[in-house]
Structure 1
Amino acid sequence: MIKLFIRYLNLMVITIFTLIVFSFLLPFMFPGDLLTNISGIVPQSEEQRLALEQAYLLDESIFHQFGFYIESLVQGNWGVSLSDNAQLSTEVAVAVPATLELVFYALLVSVVVGIPIGFLSGLKNHNPFDFSVVSFSIVGYSFPVFWLALIFITIFCLQLEWLPISGRIDLLYDVPMHTGFVFIDIMRSSIDNKTGAFIDAFHHLILPTASVAIVTTALFIRFTRRSIMDVMQKDYIIAAKSRGFTQSQIFFKHGLKNALLPILPILALQVSTLITNVMIIETIFSWPGVGRWLIQAIYQQDYPAIRIGMLVVSLFVMSLTITIEFITRAIDPARERAESAAV
């Protein structure tokens, strides 16, 4: 276990260092003035340019510049946005919780809905219920998330007028954003109508979550169904049936755990897809997360923001993927041994 932890820790450190090196080199590849790309400040005079060059060590070697960049990242001095002169660290601190919130709820819905339905479909395979579930999973996984989002907006926002079309909460509720997580901030706030604020925030959350969760849920259903079908055909399951165990006893004692183990690696592989879908949905629903902020920076050619945004998103995806992979191998040592034997 300790060797496994050290191995993944080394992998994470090497990956983080590689991402930081790539992020450091981005301003040199962007068009325009290098100093502006790094600092986010357009020099108004030659004196200001010289001062900024000295501040960012542009008159030193590239190794000194790289060391200064790492030091600035650690201290939170990420520069300013070229479009509005706001501190990038502040903008990222506001946007990241909104993205995490949407990722968490979409993943929660996918796990709570997709895995049980996948188990039921696998246990009752090749019957009308199974055929219906398989059809839904194929159709749900085939739809692009932006198309689903636009369909939901057309039906539930424009035609039925049941749900809001954009944002996280109505502007009528003046909720101070301390943590960035809207439900926690509502509970901590001193506004009068907290119940109404909760309901309004929940209504704003429904369509973005559903747009992302349908695709992920369909994927979970397909893999869970396939996993439980494979497990129920194993020799130890057949032996348990021959001893007179009921279907429920076999499933909960032998089938459930062994069917869940192959699903965790799939979850690690789908992290990047999930976050990509969330970033697309943020733009469509004006959800104030990292995806919407980064896409706006690309439209505005805000190169300092693009640099930091790409680094933050890459670090988040990498950290979550490696963490899930480590947990999977720690829970299932047999997978590690099987892969080593195959090599």
Structure 2
Amino acid sequence: MLVYLIRRLNLLVITLFLLSIVAFFLQRQVDTSFINSSHVFADYQRYLIAILSGDLGISTISGEPVLDEILRIFPATLELCLISVFIALLVGIPLGIFAGLSHGGRSDYGIMTVTLLGISVPTFWLAMLLIMFFSLHLEWFPVSGRLSLLYQIPHVTGFQLVDILISTQPYKSEALFDAIRHLTLPALVLATVPATEVIRQVRYSIGEEMNKNYIKAAQAKGLSTFQIIRRHGLRNALPPVIPNLGLQFGSILTTAMITETVFSWPGIGPWMISSIAAGDHSSIQGGLLFIATFVLLVSVMTDLLHLILDPLKRKELYGKHEHL
């Protein structure tokens, strides 16, 4: 376990080092302070020290440190991503189990058809359809924003739902309901693709587990399908879903930036687009470095969580070490 952790951390450090080199040479192309400088290694050393100290530059739009702006707006994006992952698991696991149990049947084909449609539909098009139907036609949900202007909630953590829950405002309940209404449509749009991946992964895992001997032995003992799934199937079928979500988190974050733009969600997506439009190179570079680092950290954390939850993965890892 410790050896695996060290290997993953070494890979993380090497990847971040290579990423910093790429970002440095891109910075040299746009930063006038590097024009008359021929000392590449000295310049990179200064650049690396600045990044490690949290200095990602100053935004030419706001005049504020880039890192401060990112830390202020990124919680909105992260909150949207976490809620969408929760929805994806909430919807994807039951449908994946049902499809796996009815493998080759009509229900399986129906679920997989919907899954294929979910992957195929462009995010912005789905977002516009939901806005037109649920916001403009039925008027069930707001068109854009994160919270109505009627409610003034102090910014503490940056996570809107958490800030509302810990606030002392007399209209806390109304503000929470309003925040959930604003969150529903963008979270559903963002949850579409990861939900389809969860369905496919769980369907495959359940199908594999149900054909194993220990499942057949449980069936011979008279256990119902529900009991078998609850006691044995889920325990072995769900752990592979975790690293898959970790690998998807980069695409989830990218899709979130598109979703935020459509719904005017005040996250890192509109911020990056406005920085690109204004030619704010410090903000663009700082945002990309921050996002890439965060995605790599999530990937490492999900791999470790998979190792902790999956005994077979640990056994395989220990077997490799003993063989070496």
**Corresponding position: 1:171 with 2:149:** yes
Segments of 5+ residues of structure 1 without an aligned counterpart are 39-52
d(CA) in 1 for partners of 2:228 and 2:37?
70
Partner of 1:295: 273
Partner of 2:22: 22
Kindly report the root-mean-square deviation, in angstroms, between the aligned alpha carbons of the 2 structures: 2.4
- AA of the residue aligned to 1:11: L
1:216 to partner: Cα distance: 1.5
Instruction: Indicate which of 190, 199, 209 corresponds to 1:231.
Output: 209
Partner of 1:257: 235
d(CA) in 2 for partners of 1:184 and 1:262?
30
**Contact 2:194-2:245 at 8 Å conserved across structures:** no
- AA of the residue aligned to 2:13: V
Segments of 5+ residues of structure 2 without an aligned counterpart are none
Partner of 1:214: 192
- AA of the residue aligned to 1:154: M
d(CA) in 1 for partners of 2:80 and 2:87?
11
Partner of 2:314: 333
- AA of the residue aligned to 1:225: R
Instruction: Indicate which of 277, 291, 299 corresponds to 1:321.
Output: 299
Partner of 1:41: none
d(CA) in 2 for partners of 1:72 and 1:294?
21
Q: Secondary structure at the match of 1:270?
A: helix
In the superposition, the TM-score normalised over structure 1's length comes to: 0.85
Q: Identity, % of aligned pairs?
A: 36
Partner of 2:32: 34
> What are the within-5 Å matches in structure 2 for residues 72-151 of structure 1?
72-151=50-129
- AA of the residue aligned to 2:32: L
Q: How many residues are treated as equivalent by the alignment?
A: 319
What do the CA deviations read for 1:188-209 (whole angstroms, capped 9, x no partner)? 3343311121111111101110
**Contact 2:243-2:299 at 8 Å conserved across structures:** no
1:89 to partner: Cα distance: 1.7
d(CA) in 1 for partners of 2:320 and 2:204?
21
In the superposition, the TM-score normalised over structure 2's length comes to: 0.90
d(CA) in 2 for partners of 1:339 and 1:103?
35
**Contact 1:329-1:335 at 8 Å conserved across structures:** no
What do the CA deviations read for 1:228-263 (whole angstroms, capped 9, x no partner)? 011111233223333444333332333222212332
> Over alpha carbons, which structure has the higher Rg?
1
1:281 to partner: Cα distance: 0.4
What do the CA deviations read for 1:266-305 (whole angstroms, capped 9, x no partner)? 2222111211111110111111111221122112211111
**Contact 1:271-1:320 at 8 Å conserved across structures:** yes
Q: Structure 1 residues 172 and 236 mapped into 2: Cα distance closer, same or farther (>3 Å)?
A: same
**Contact 1:23-1:308 at 8 Å conserved across structures:** no
1:144 to partner: Cα distance: 1.4
